[in-house]
Amino acid sequence: MTRRAVITGVGAVSAFGVGVDALWTGLAAGRSAVGPIRSFDARTFPVQVAGEVPVIEPDADWVIEHAGHPQIDAVADGLEGIGGLRDRKVAFALAAAAEAWRHAGLDVVADAHVVLGLGLEHASLEDLVAVFDPATRHVDWAREPAAPLPELRFRQPLDLAARAIAELLGARGPVVANVSACAAGALAIAQAAARVERGVDVVITGAADSMVNPLGVAGMARLGAPSPRAALDACRPFDRHRDGLVIGEGAAVFVVEDEAHARARGARPLARVLGWGATQDGFRLTAPRPEGELAARAMTAALTRAGLPATAIGYVNAHGTGTPLNDPAECRALHRALGAHADRVAVSSQKGAFGHLMAAAGAIELAAALLAFERDLLPGTAHLTERDPDCDVDVIGPAPRPARIDVLLSSSFGFGGQNAALCLGRWR
């Protein structure tokens, strides 16, 4: 019997707040959650707005309050004791995972796998300053500062959030950290679905990321990727006047499960994972192929795996970064992959509403796209006022569009040209 992957649980932490309902309600209202950075003093930074999760410091108490899981006290306290929660994405991942698990209605599934997309290792500016030696004008890594540094200080383990989720949920299967930059979340979900098709009953997947810290924002600002405008509408995907992205943070976690397994326990799936595809541009670290050829191939691979024609797609949840280069390249990719259907299919990007979650972008945007199945609403494109003629697709404006669709396509493109596409179907 063919095994089919379905999504039976979702949890989200975003600039809209903790919980997928906060995300869906905000998007359904056509709101944007981008605002001034509050978790550190960014007043002298050229980038002063972000899609920041509304918490200054997500400590153990915050995680315990928002995760609401019987095991969370021990896990959160343990992480806080070694400094693990200073990496905001770890806290967000735990809250989102606990929500997804509750949503799925699962108890302990000992052989569950964890496949999580994750961003860069967290580093704290304060820790580096604490061991900086003015005499040598260099950090003395072995120096003991007056205030002891936590056990995890200069180099938080890359896969810490994935392991923390496994510990929280009692999952004892393989733990995989996908670190394929901004495509990591989408690729993790694809890998999770593939594992289910191969025989794993339950996979906890999704992604978490946060670069809303001094070093993260400074690095991105110097790179020139964020919009230089410190305005709430700084990110305007597909708009003629777009000038860059807005940094976001958060997590989205899904329970991907074998359909028969879900049916047997009476679960109501949210969607089917029908297909996926991945390619590599092999072009430049910071620019996509302008003609979108390889991105299109990833979309085509997703459709092929789903066994669907392009005309089956009712909505495209675009990567849509709001950068000058990405958006037109993505539209060309859509035309290549979908042909004439690209003129008709509805397209939107949520990065103007909650920012670019980097490694978690594909995951949070897939959670947003579930609005299409849950509420028959296609999320809008915040701050779009004048569509760029180079982005010649049917871009949904700031307000969500009521529509009943059965199949959606979600794209994610990473720095360095890592392309991923996911195809989801309504479950019935």
Partner 1 sequence: MSAAAIVGVGWRTPLGRDVAGAVDRLLAGDVAAAPLTRIPAASYQLRRAAVVADEPARSKHARFLRRMALHAIDAAGEALTAAAAAGVVTGPRVGLYAAVGGLRAHWDDIMAALARQRDDGADAWARGLGTIHPFWMLRHLSNNAHALLAADSGARGDGATFGGASAGAQALAAAIRALAAGAVDAAIVVAYDSLLEPETLVELGAREGDDVVPGEAAAALVLVAADDPRGAGRVRVRAATGADGERGRPADRTVAAAVDRVTVGVAAATPLDVVGAMGELGAAASPVQAIALAELLGRGGHGPRALATATGAPGLVGAIVVELPGDRPGAPP
Instruction: Pick out residues in 299-358 that bind partner 1 (CB under 8 A).
Output: none
Catalytic residue among 113, 356, 391, 423: 356
Cβ burial 196-224 (10 Å sphere, 16+ → b, else e)? beeebbbbbbbbbbbbbbbebbbebbeee
The three-state DSSP-derived secondary structure of 55-104 is CCCCCHHHHHHHHCCCCHHHHHHHHHHHCHHHCHHHHHHHHHHHHHHHHH
Question: Taking contact as CB under 8 A, which single stretch among the options 21-29, 222-230, 365-373, 390-398 is the one that binds partner 1?
Answer: 222-230
Cβ burial 19-40 (10 Å sphere, 16+ → b, else e)? bbebbbebbbebebbbeebebb
Q: Count Cβ atoms within 10 A of the Cβ of residue 134 and give its class: 0-12 exposed, 13-18 middle, 19 or more buried.
A: exposed
Least separation in angstroms between residue 243's CB and partner 1 is 17
Task: List the structure tokens of 377.
Answer: 């609403």
Q: Using N-to-C axis directions, what is the helix angle for 293-306 and 326-338, rounded to 10°?
A: 40
Among 52, 80, 87, 167, indicate the residue that binds partner 1 (CB under 8 A). Answer: 167
Total residues contacting partner 1 by CB under 8 A comes to: 82
- 244 lines the binding site for partner 1 (CB under 8 A): no
Question: Taking contact as CB under 8 A, which single stretch among the options 101-109, 117-125, 348-356, 379-387 is the one that binds partner 1?
Answer: 117-125
Among 166, 196, 318, 422, indicate the residue that binds partner 1 (CB under 8 A). Answer: 166
Residue 120 is classified by DSSP as P
Q: Which amino acid is at 155?
A: R
Residue that has been written with the tokens 């302008």 in this structure: 290
Residue 348 is classified by DSSP as E
**Which string of x and - marks every residue 67-106 that binds partner 1 (by CB under 8 A)?**
-----------x----------------------------
Q: Which amino acid is at 319?
A: H
**Residue 356 designated active-site:** yes
Instruction: Give the count of beta carbons closer than 10 Å to the beta carbon of residue 79.
Output: 26
Helix (H, G, I), strand (E, B) or coil at 217: helix
**Residue 319 designated active-site:** yes
Question: Taking contact as CB under 8 A, which single stretch among the options 214-222, 236-244, 265-273, 319-327 is the one that binds partner 1?
Answer: 214-222
Question: Taking contact as CB under 8 A, which single stretch among the options 18-26, 163-171, 249-257, 367-375 is the one that binds partner 1?
Answer: 163-171
- 148 lines the binding site for partner 1 (CB under 8 A): no
Least separation in angstroms between residue 414's CB and partner 1 is 6
Please check whether residue 196 is in contact with residue 3, taking contact to mean a CB–CB distance below 8 angstroms.
yes
Nearer to partner 1, 39 or 381 (CB): 39
Among 5, 15, 72, 175, indicate the residue that binds partner 1 (CB under 8 A). Answer: 175
Catalytic residue among 113, 182, 383, 423: 182
- 282 lines the binding site for partner 1 (CB under 8 A): yes
**Residue 182 designated active-site:** yes
What gap in Å lies between CA 342 and CA 408, rounded to an integer? 13
Q: Which amino acid is at 48?
A: Q
- 427 lines the binding site for partner 1 (CB under 8 A): no
**Which string of x and - marks every residue 30-69 that binds partner 1 (by CB under 8 A)?**
----------xxxxxxx-----------------------
Nearer to partner 1, 102 or 172 (CB): 172
Question: Where in the sequence numbering do the catalytic residues fall?
Answer: 182, 319, 356
